[in-house]
Amino acid sequence: MLCTSPTKFWKKGFGPIFFYTGNEGDIWTFAQNSGFIFELAEEQQALVIFAEHRYYGKSLPFGLESTQPKKTGLLTVEQALADYAVLITEIKQQYGAADCPVIAFGGSYGGMLSAYMRMKYPNIVAGALAASAPLLSVAGLGDPTQFFRDVTADFQKSSPGCVPAVRKAFQQLEDLFLSGAYDEISSKMATCNKISNKEDVYQLFGFARNAFTMMAMMNYPYKTDFMGHLPANPVKVSCEQILAHTDPIQGLAALVGVFYNSSGLAQCYDIYQLYQSCADPTGCGVGPDAEAWDYQVCTEINLAFSSNNVTDMFPEMPFTEAMREQYCGRKWHVRPRAHWLQINFWGGDLKSASNIIFSNGDLDPWAGGGINSSLSPSLIALTVRGGAHHLDLRGHNPADPPSVTQVRKLEASIINSWVKAAGMERAQERRPGASALSMSIPTASSLPVRLPLQ
């Protein structure tokens, strides 16, 4: 397991430890897109640790064979959390940081893990910031139509004419498919290889839907290179593309190009190379990390979302539990544990936890599957108005909406209070009086025993 450990802000032996629970990818990607943690570390004199999740990035237990079906058994949420617990314990020992409180940070799946760390290892982690963490939907508690409905809503908010244009483009593609006009589909959608059957059309629909998903998630008010090279406000830019075309299908091709062809240099789309269908309808990405994530969503993590062309603008593409079970059995020879996260990590019954911030952006399609109302004085839900996927974890930018600046200040204040409370608690534990008090409590063996009369 790789970890990065910037120490330049740390007040050695006293400052807190900010620990990022790595997601489903190379840890450097997340470190480069989580500037808020470094800004806060400078302010609170913290040690920053970014830990890479097993089976992702360079943390491959079996090298290039790690995602072979017989080598994936150690890829679980529980094992990843145990890795982080061991790493924190070792770092505290090596850095002379035994009394330094640990705050877990994470976004998306990493946000789930940061919350789980606080829930499972409260003796190690004093608090957690779980940004854009879909804790309910991944536990199978969400509405299967929610995700693509909310993607659609993002595009509708951006431009009222966008959604009707998208619907029209998909309907025309459907009509061309039913009439067997594969050449026209291929030409207008600029596919590298000719669309020639129903499977190709379904792949094309998934490929296109994935572009909408990614742009809704990454709908930041400035240019980014996180999970793709995107312009500022990509939802707005992509809507402008489809509305600028008189032909709806060619407009759709231009729209998806905002995500798939940011350089403008690609002459065509290789729809099988650019998008891999998997057990996550919101997209697994491509490459080895995508394979590892596919396995995780085939075992513990539930993402059975469907588009239906009624509550959303996409073609009807169901993905039921039965379909998931069939796919996962064929691909990985496993059966999904549909209710495991509800049992192991409490599902929606989180009230007995403490010291977790659940932040969500109202532009983020994942927000609907997360915690959006505070559950107790220490289980705090924060909403970033005008914010996409874990915008609050990103560093300050002049284009930030006012809401994210306010949310970050509130997060900083809450985290500071947790750090101080943990420090005071540790100090009390070390006072001689406290240990003497505990020693004075009579044990069962020291209590007087009254013998029965003979």
What pLDDT is attached to residue 402? 97
Q: Note if 417 is an active site residue.
A: no
Token reading at 401: 């909406």
Report the C-alpha gap between 168 and 297 in whole angstroms: 32
Task: Say what the pLDDT of residue 452 is.
Answer: 36
Residues in the chain with pLDDT values less than 50: 436-454
The residue assigned the tokens 């740390």 is 10
State the chain's maximal CA–CA distance in angstroms: 106
Active site residue 364: yes
8 A C-beta contact, residue 291 and residue 328: no
DSSP secondary-structure letter at 355? S
The confidence score (pLDDT) of residue 228 equals 84
Go through 396-412 and write b for each residue having 16 or more CB atoms within 10 A of its CB, e for each that does not.
ebeebbebbeebbeebb
Q: Express each pLDDT in 290-301 by its tens digit.
A: 999 999 999 999
d(CA 200, CA 182): 10
What distance lies between CA 108 and its chain's CA centroid?
2
Question: How much is the pLDDT for 453?
Answer: 34
d(CA 298, CA 278): 9
* SS3 assignment, position 78: helix
Residue 190's alpha-carbon distances to 270, 282, 313, 399, in angstroms, are 9, 23, 21, 34
Contact 254, 191 (CB under 8 A): no
Q: How many CB atoms lie within 10 A of CB 273?
A: 11
Give the containing element (helix H, strand E) for 408: helix 402-430
21-34 tens-digit pLDDT: 999 999 999 999 99
One-character DSSP codes across 246-286: SSHHHHHHHHHHHHHTTTS--SSB-HHHH----S-TT---S
Considering 34, 59, 108, 354, which one is annotated as catalytic? 108
- Quote the tokens at residue 125: 């982690």
Identify the CA nearest to 6 among candidates 26, 27, 31, 30.
31
Element (H, E) at 40: helix 35-44
The model's pTM: 0.92
In the chain, the amino acid numbered 51 is A
Looking at residue 431, what is its pLDDT? 75
Collapse the DSSP code of 307 into the 3-class scheme (helix H, G, I; strand E, B; otherwise coil) and give the result: strand
Indicate the residue type of 231: P
| C-alpha 299, offset from chain centre | 17
Which pLDDT does position 63 carry in this prediction? 96
- pLDDT at site 430: 76
Please say whether the beta carbons of 260 and 211 come within 8 A. yes
The catalytically annotated residue of 389, 390, 392, 400 is 389
pLDDT of residue 5: 63
Return the pLDDT at 412. Answer: 98
The pLDDT score that the predictor gives to residue 444 is: 33
Question: Tokens 């924060």 — which residue?
Answer: 382
Q: Where are the alpha helices (DSSP H) in 132-247?
A: 146-158, 162-178, 182-188, 198-217, 234-243
pLDDT of residue 441: 34
Continuous H helices in 73-129? 77-94, 109-120
pLDDT at 423: 86
pLDDT of residue 433: 62
What is the radius of gyration, based on Cα positions, of the chain? 25
> In 3D, which of 282, 360, 315, 320 has the Cα closest to residue 170?
315
Q: What are phi and psi of 281, to 5 degrees?
A: -65, -15
Contact indicator for 32, 404 with CB cutoff of 8 Å: no
CA 202 to CA 12: how far, in whole Å?
Answer: 56
Q: What is the DSSP letter of 451?
A: P
Burial group, residue 450, by CB count within 10 angstroms (0-12, 13-18, 19+): exposed
Q: Pick the catalytic residue: 154, 200, 364, 400?
A: 364
pLDDT at residue 137, as a whole number: 96
Tokens of 100: 């330094």
State residue 82's pLDDT score.
98
71-101 pLDDT per residue, tens? 999 999 999 999 999 999 999 999 999 999 9
